[in-house]
Amino acid sequence: MSTTRRWRIATDVGGTFTDLVLDDGSDLLAFKAATTPDDPTRGVLDAVAVAAGAVGLDSAALLADCEVFVHGTTRALNAMLTHTTARTALLVTAGHPDILLLREGGRHRPFDLSTEYPQPLVPRALTFEIGGRVVADGRELAALDEASVLRAIDAMAQARVEAVGVCLLWSVVNGEHERRVGELLSERLPGVPFTLSHQLNPVMREYRRASSTVIDASLKPLMTGYIDGLEGRLRESGLSGQVLLVSSTGATVLAEAAAASPIHTLNSGPSMAPEAARQVVMSEVLPGRSDVDAIVFDSGGTTCDISLVRAGHTVSTRETWIGQIGAGHITGFSSVDVRSIAAGGGSIADVDEWGLLRVGPRSAGAVPGPACYGRGGVEATVTDASLVAGYLDPDTFLDGALRLDLAAAERVVSAVGDRLGIGLREAADAIVSLATEQMVNAIEAIALGQGVDPRTAVLVGGGGAAGLNVVEIARRLGSRHAVIPAYGSVLAAAGGMLAPLSEEVSLTLPTSSDRFDVAGVTDVVTRLRARAVEFARSIGVAEAAIRSEWTVEARYRQQVWDLVVPFDDADLADPVAREWLVAAFHATHEHAYGVADPSGVIEFLTWSVRATYGADSRRGFLAASAEHVAVARPVSFGSDAVDASVVPATRMAGRTVAGPAIVEATSTSIVIPPGATARLTPAGHVLIDPFADRAAAERATLEGARA
């Protein structure tokens, strides 16, 4: 066994498969194993075993030589969506028990009286008011009433509370009351985790701060156990390296940091894909361009996650809601903007009482899975329909790790066809087409809402099911460029491999452009810079290796909503630096709203630094070969079956494959319909021209006109 750790591993636990990317310093390898919903860590260890066997090692030897183990999971998000988080209480300032109920005012549908008012994340029965008051300038108007805190703690103990959130008024400018409450909780409720709002999310908006606080607290018992269990079992299996988790921002954090603030893992899995896609597009599809727009759809077994790259940057949002916007629960933090729809390979197709075909939102998941998996599934899915259509080879699925049962797929798809009054192949085509239409509708709504034109954007397909309909989606959107990355089938896990290690820290200090608090801002910047240095020390790197990105939330006076404005950490005591900051806000406002007020007074609120270390802009991992072996099989396009060539992606080097064809890439199949073409880049990415026949006809017409 080598004494020098050389492997890096990234994993992503999906609804159907657990993906793993293995990096030995020169090549990237992709693997999949079935997700085990009852014990997700077992699925991770199964994927490690598959990877170890592929490189001629056992799991212990591979993990012993592993330097970094990156993990992405939707465990926290699923717990929120299924209401299986801890029984959580909330402590608030006396007179303000309805912060979570009132949210930020209004109703999602104000004139729909049939819709009940949404319930708060923490019920009134577990919301406790405590005496004491801090005012906006940080002064203590009334001392903390410790007797009321102790009474609340006794009541929480009787109610068997499992976690506690503490959100007191103006704790962002003076957190002494919250800190004392934390001390009393530690003394009187030992072992019950709690979150203090001024430490977690020091923003001024009460609802957002309170919501993030109780979300974080409610996740601590679950995620602490999950992360500790994952790391413990990896250590028992031989892991000697560092364990990192992917955060909602698309960066990675230390495992202990993720357990301490589990709210940052809510979008852990889906947030990884757009960064991987961005690097592929900017290095391979449109190299040298800084204004690249891309649409990323990560289509797995259970969901299709849609995200955007705009002007070369992954699109993020501070309006992240769990559930319906305005009626769910806001996280209060910035995260990669990912929208999910219930459409994937495992989406179940059925016919409703009106005789209409439906695909999703129900999914066969990992257990029992599609009927063709032979694990007890009895309902037709998109994967079953794709197998019937000839898109998948039953003998080479998942690189031969799972043999598909064609007869079972035909049986369940035929049953759908019988209810629709159509044949087997027509039913298969209808199922795949409807799933495609659902994805197109979602992509159009998200892209157009963010100002991204699908006709000029690059469509990037990820996940094991993306290749089934990537060309049809591109055609419906009018996209001229489509790409399945070399690591497309494990795009999110690959994003974890490429993601930097990061930590973001914020402090609130209200000030304004006409009365700028130089001393206060200087102190805040100094404290934030010290936290960035602490981050460098915690991961064992030099301070000079850390990149710091500075932002401040600001608005015009009397505005309601804030904008995030980037700035550098220049000495803001310098009038020139302050002028630059003011100009940066005006420019940001004009970009966001199309208008600016150069004479307006600006209010600066929350100051943040994001310290980042490392980023791996790495190549693909398919080893290209000039060899080509001609194979063909019947494939359905519409209701017609034609002989399509089947080409391994590793044998596409130096040639363009014209449809009808099936390109078999790593753990996925890419359908190239008639009229489209595909070629392999040097890095192993599959570039697709959805309109190759149209372009050829246009060139012929142009050449004829010239002649």
- Judge if 281 and 333 occupy the same domain: yes
- Identify which of 304, 287, 240, 316 has the alpha carbon closest to the alpha carbon of residue 16: 304
The string of pLDDT tens digits covering residues 246-281 is: 998 888 889 999 999 999 999 887 888 888 888 888
Q: Fill in the amino acid letter for 87.
A: R
Whether residue 318 has pLDDT greater than 60: yes
The reply to whether omega before 361 is within 30° of 0 (cis) is yes
Stretch among 180-189, 368-377, 464-473, 615-624 having the lowest mean pLDDT = 615-624
The string of pLDDT tens digits covering residues 147-195 is: 999 999 999 999 999 999 999 999 998 999 999 999 999 999 999 999 9
Task: Please enumerate in sequence order all residues whose Cβ is within 8 A of that of 672, keeping only pairs 6 or more positions apart, or say none.
Answer: 471, 644, 657, 658, 659, 660, 661, 662, 663, 678, 688
Whether residue 427 has pLDDT greater than 80: yes
73 half-sphere exposure, CB direction, 13 A CA radius: 26
We report the CATH number of the domain holding residue 519 as 3.30.1490
Final residue in a domain of this structure, among 495, 511, 543: 495
The number of domains in the chain is 6
3-class secondary structure, 679? strand
3-class secondary structure, 655? coil
The pLDDT assigned to 623 comes to 39
Give the C-alpha separation, 378 to 536, whole Å: 53
Does 28 fall in a domain?
A: yes
CA dist list (Å): 211 to 102, 203, 553, 612: 11, 12, 19, 27
The pLDDT assigned to 695 comes to 62
Cβ neighbours of 668 (radius 10 Å): 29
Q: Where is mean pLDDT largest: 4-13, 378-387, 570-579? A: 378-387
We report the CATH number of the domain holding residue 491 as 3.30.420.40
The pLDDT assigned to 626 comes to 37
Average pLDDT over residues 569-595: 88
- Judge if 352 and 469 occupy the same domain: no
The pLDDT assigned to 616 comes to 52
pLDDT band at 521 (very low <50, low <70, confident <90, very high): very high
The token duo for 63 is: 């993990």
Final residue in a domain of this structure, among 378, 413, 429: 429
Whether residue 476 has pLDDT greater than 90: yes
Give the C-alpha separation, 41 to 18, whole Å: 10
3-class secondary structure, 261? coil
Average pLDDT over residues 84-107: 91
Sign of CA dihedral 638, 393, 416, 435: negative
Which residues span the domain enclosing 663? 632-706
Cβ-contact 243, 43 below 8 angstroms:
no
The pLDDT assigned to 4 comes to 53
- Judge if 425 and 476 occupy the same domain: no
Task: Please enumerate in sequence order all residues whose Cβ is within 8 A of that of 307, keeping only pairs 6 or more positions apart, or say none.
Answer: 270, 273, 274, 277, 296, 298, 314, 315, 336, 337, 338, 339
- Judge if 440 and 337 occupy the same domain: yes
Does 206 fall in a domain?
A: no
Long-range contact pairs involving 283-289 (C-beta distance under 8 Å, separation at least 24): 283/617, 283/683, 284/483, 284/681, 284/683, 284/685, 284/687, 285/458, 285/481, 285/483, 285/685, 285/687, 286/458, 286/481
The pLDDT assigned to 495 comes to 87
The pLDDT assigned to 518 comes to 93
3-class secondary structure, 307? strand
Cβ-contact 31, 17 below 8 angstroms:
no
- Judge if 480 and 509 occupy the same domain: no
Average pLDDT, the chain: 88
pLDDT band at 615 (very low <50, low <70, confident <90, very high): low
- Judge if 279 and 417 occupy the same domain: no
pLDDT band at 104 (very low <50, low <70, confident <90, very high): confident
The string of pLDDT tens digits covering residues 621-663 is: 443 333 445 478 888 887 678 889 888 887 887 789 997 999 9
Does 510 fall in a domain?
A: yes
- Judge if 441 and 537 occupy the same domain: no
Does 284 fall in a domain?
A: yes
- Judge if 511 and 652 occupy the same domain: no
Give the C-alpha separation, 547 to 613, whole Å: 6
- Judge if 97 and 185 occupy the same domain: yes
Whether residue 691 has pLDDT greater than 60: yes
Higher-scoring residue by pLDDT: 419, 113? 419
Cβ-contact 555, 603 below 8 angstroms:
yes
Does 199 fall in a domain?
A: no
Does 626 fall in a domain?
A: no
Final residue in a domain of this structure, among 386, 405, 429: 429
Give the C-alpha separation, 529 to 598, whole Å: 30
Cβ neighbours of 542 (radius 10 Å): 9
3-class secondary structure, 107? coil
- Judge if 421 and 568 occupy the same domain: no
- Judge if 112 and 162 occupy the same domain: yes
Go through the chain and tell me how many residues it has: 707
As a whole-number percent, the residues of the chain with pLDDT over 70 amount to 94
The token duo for 549 is: 């990105």
Stretch among 122-126, 358-362, 467-471 having the lowest mean pLDDT = 358-362
Cβ-contact 207, 73 below 8 angstroms:
no
Does 175 fall in a domain?
A: yes
pLDDT band at 386 (very low <50, low <70, confident <90, very high): very high
The pLDDT assigned to 2 comes to 41
Higher-scoring residue by pLDDT: 570, 461? 461
- Judge if 664 and 549 occupy the same domain: no
Does 52 fall in a domain?
A: yes
CA dist list (Å): 65 to 9, 43, 465, 705: 10, 20, 32, 64
Whether residue 467 has pLDDT greater than 50: yes
How do strand 547-556 and strand 602-613 relate by DSSP bridges? antiparallel
As a whole-number percent, the residues of the chain with pLDDT over 90 amount to 52
